[in-house]
Amino acid sequence: MAAQDRLQERLQGRLFGLGVGPGDPELITLKALRLLKAAPVVAYFVAKGKKGNAFSIVEAHLHEAQQHLPLVYPVTTEALEPPLSYEAIIADFYDTAAVVVAAHLDGGRDVAVICEGDPFFYGSYMYLHDRLATRYESEVVPGVCSMLGGAAVLGSPLVYRNQSLSVLSGVLPEHGLRRRLADADAAVVMKLGRNFDKVRRVLGELGLDRRALYVERATMDNQRIVPLAEVDPMASPYFSLLVVPGEKWQG
């Protein structure tokens, strides 16, 4: 029976979750690039009618023999009118996407799922991994995540010596965000977008607005670094973040 299981594994394709970095095409790792070029199927998450950031990062490295497998989101915002449920819709989508990818794996084709930033740091790949990694041979290649790309372009060290870093979602309720920021030595706030005004208000109440730094689309060609007070809350994109660096230590 064990021999049959090993034979079945060899007949199946392998699943790769490849972190391709925050936007600058030169920030992909050598390992991710090697596995990307070798994969017969390249899958990527994308909004309807878009090319997608992850695909744009790697597009120049793809070749004609590879099959492109776009996994198109049915919705791209968490704010939906009742009775629609974002959680239910997106869970069904990931279930369907896993079935689509599994069909290639069952056909013996390796699938490289590319993920902007790092696959396990707010990466969409993780939802496929949860559904498929127990059934297929899989490997995850870490990538430069957006908060590290953001800190780099802002020229701001995140934490000194024994400080701790809190990574927070801007989607958090205001009271929860306030509590976590008040307790943080240093923080990065992700998922801004329509949550920006709330986040800026909390930072001001805590006196952290003087230290906070804001960047949009860090390391991409259309990157913007804007003073916190000048950010238009109605125009802050999803791919933006706030860095509240730790207090400087002169070592």
Could you count the other beta carbons within 10 Å of the beta carbon of residue 130? 11
pTM, whole model, 2 decimals?
Answer: 0.89
Reported as type and span, the H/E element at residue 167 is: strand 165-169
Q: Which two tokens stand for residue 248?
A: 């400087």
Whether 251 shows a pLDDT value over 80: the answer reads no
Domains of the chain plus CATH, in order, are: 2-144 (3.40.1010.10), 147-244 (3.30.950.10)
What is the reported pLDDT for 159? 97
Q: Which of 219, 215, 221 is nearest to 244 (CA)?
A: 215
Minimum mean pLDDT among 61-65, 182-186, 233-237: which range? 233-237
Question: Other C-beta atoms within 10 Å of 124: how many?
Answer: 22
Coil vs helix vs strand at 6: helix
Cβ proximity of 98 and 71 under 8 Å: no
Taking the C-alpha atoms of residue 40 and residue 108, their distance in angstroms, rounded to an integer, is 10
CA pair distance 157, 152, nearest whole angstrom: 8
Tokens of 81: 């009118």
- The mean predicted confidence, pLDDT, of the chain is 93
The end-to-end CA distance of the chain, in Å, is: 61
| pLDDT at 88 (0 to 100) | 86
Identify the burial level of 19 via C-beta atoms within 10 angstroms of its C-beta, where 0-12 means exposed, 13-18 middle and 19 or more buried.
Answer: buried
pLDDT at 151: 98
Q: Print the SS3 string covering 51-74.
A: CCHHHHHHHHHCCCCCEEEEEEEC
Query: Percent of the chain, pLDDT > 90?
Result: 84
**Alpha-helical segments (H) within the chain:** 2-11, 30-38, 53-58, 86-106, 125-132, 146-154, 174-182, 196-206
With 0-12 / 13-18 / 19 or more C-beta atoms within 10 angstroms meaning exposed / middle / buried, residue 17 is buried
* Peptide bond preceding 227 in cis form (omega within 30 of 0): no
Q: What is the CA radius of gyration of the chain?
A: 20
pLDDT digits (tens, 9 = 90+) for 172-217: 999 999 999 999 999 999 999 999 999 999 999 999 999 999 999 9
Structure letter (DSSP) for residue 166 = E
* More reliable by pLDDT, 6 or 148: 148
Per-residue burial over 235-246, b = 16 or more CB atoms within 10 Å of its CB, e = otherwise: ebeebbbbbbbb
